[in-house]
Amino acid sequence: MKRLFSLLLVLLMIFPHPIAMAETKYSRNIFGYFDTVISLMGYTDSQEEFDRVCDEAAQQLKYLHQLFDGYNSYPGLHNLWYVNRHAGSSPVQVDQPFFDLLSKAKEMQSKPGYEKVNIAMGAVLVLWHEAREEGVLPDAKALEEASRHTDISQVILDEENRTVYFADPLIRLDLGAVAKGYAADYVKALLEEKMPSFLISLGGNVYAGDAPLDGRKRWGVSVQCPDGVPPIQFGSDMLEVFYTTRMSLVTSGDYQRYMEVDGVRYHHIIDPDTCMPATHLRAVTIVCESGFLADYLSTLLFLLPYEDGIALINSIPDAGALFVLSDGSVTMSEDLYPMAYTHGAGAR
């Protein structure tokens, strides 16, 4: 009996067991999707396991990228490109994630104060996109004409048949304000199951999962400093670091995608009421659980005057915002103090 017990003890020690195994942080950068680099990191027992989870996540991201791609077509896929070309003549049946995203965005836009984020603004945004490629300002008349075809109520969603139809055939959808946040939420389900301690970043769209498994209690997520704004420390390009778990962080700013004409900067976040880039803020970062909401709100708050933005974010429970105003001053909602480096927070 004793001998058997001893043998068992020895066996227990020889075979690696899950509790005793130290997990390591692995990371991978994925190129080619959503016009940005996607960083995925997490704690697993082995490189092989991490690679497996990564490959699976990359498959999902590839699918979503193709679904929300407005510039290319893929055989057999009713994606954004396809919908924009065909939904004006007859209803187009789309995959569930595509329909979900349109429904969520349309519903959000119907709330008072949330109107300025409009996924039906593609006709205007495409003119700005072309203008940035060519380095000249879009024609004012063309912008005005395009803005007449941006009424979201003309986008007809049929839940039963999962179809999209444009009652105004000149409507074009642009999902740039919501697609990455939605995509982060979508892959989150897989990652939570296969690698709960993870962090994913799609450009400026971050979701931090369960705590890192190296003794830290929280992930550290940096926010990039807009040019001309003082960083947290000399020699750095970081504006702030937030320490958190199970939270989305999304930044919208004027310093990543823009063009300069006659010394004036024209960035990519366009106010639907003026058809011009919004100038209230340099940047805004939203912190809340839902990636879709964080993505939506970061664009919305960028389009609103600071006073309206801070009032709106304070009306939403468990959501906070960091603002860089047009004069370069930095301020954040008080909810974020416990996570912020500049207010003494750390990873422990």
Partner 1 sequence: MFKKKDLLLFLLVLALAGVLFLLQYINAKNTTVLGIVRIWADGKIYREAALGKEETIVIRQDNGCENVVRLTENGFFMESANCHNQLCIGQGEVTTENYPLRSLGTHVLCLPNRVDVELVVENSTDMDIPDI
**Within positions 34 to 73, which residues make up the interface with partner 1, using CB under 8 A?**
36-37, 39, 41
| Element housing 189 (H / E) | helix 179-194
Does position 15 interact with partner 1 (CB under 8 A)? The reply is no
Distance of alpha carbon 42 from alpha carbon 342, whole angstroms? 26
Contact (Cβ atoms closer than 8 angstroms) between residue 28 and residue 54: yes
Minimum CB–partner distance for residue 295 and partner 1 (Å): 17
**Within positions 296 to 335, which residues make up the interface with partner 1, using CB under 8 A?**
none
Binding mask 267-296 for partner 1 (x = CB under 8 A): ------------------------------
Tell which one of 53, 121, 131, 225 touches partner 1 (CB under 8 A). 225
Does position 344 interact with partner 1 (CB under 8 A)? The reply is no
Smaller CB distance to partner 1: residue 30 or 108? 30
Phi-psi region of 16 (alpha: psi -120 to 50; beta: other; left: phi over 0): beta
Tell which one of 88, 176, 209, 212 touches partner 1 (CB under 8 A). 212
Distances (CA, A) of 198 to 43, 117, 140: 7, 30, 46
Distances (CA, A) of 147 to 123, 172, 241, 280, 294: 7, 11, 38, 21, 26
Strand partners, 220: 243
Smaller CB distance to partner 1: residue 3 or 111? 3
Minimum CB–partner distance for residue 178 and partner 1 (Å): 21
Q: Which tokens go with 112?
A: 């008072």
Distances (CA, A) of 55 to 47, 52, 59, 76, 190: 12, 5, 6, 23, 11
Does position 245 interact with partner 1 (CB under 8 A)? The reply is no
DSSP per-residue codes, 50-98: HHHHHHHHHHHHHHHHHHT-SS---TT---HHHHHHHTTTS-EE--HHH
> Interacting stretch for partner 1, rule CB under 8 A, among 88-96, 116-124, 222-230, 322-330?
222-230
Does position 8 interact with partner 1 (CB under 8 A)? The reply is no
Does position 338 interact with partner 1 (CB under 8 A)? The reply is no
Smaller CB distance to partner 1: residue 108 or 286? 286
Coil vs helix vs strand at 233:
coil
SS3 labels along 45-56 = CCHHHHHHHHHH
Distance of alpha carbon 26 from alpha carbon 47, whole angstroms? 7
> Interacting stretch for partner 1, rule CB under 8 A, among 90-98, 146-154, 182-190, 205-213?
205-213
Smaller CB distance to partner 1: residue 15 or 263? 15
Binding positions for partner 1, rule: CB under 8 A = 2-3, 6, 9-10, 13-14, 22, 24, 29-32, 36-37, 39, 41, 199, 201, 206, 208, 212, 214-216, 219-225, 233, 235-238, 241, 243, 341, 346-348
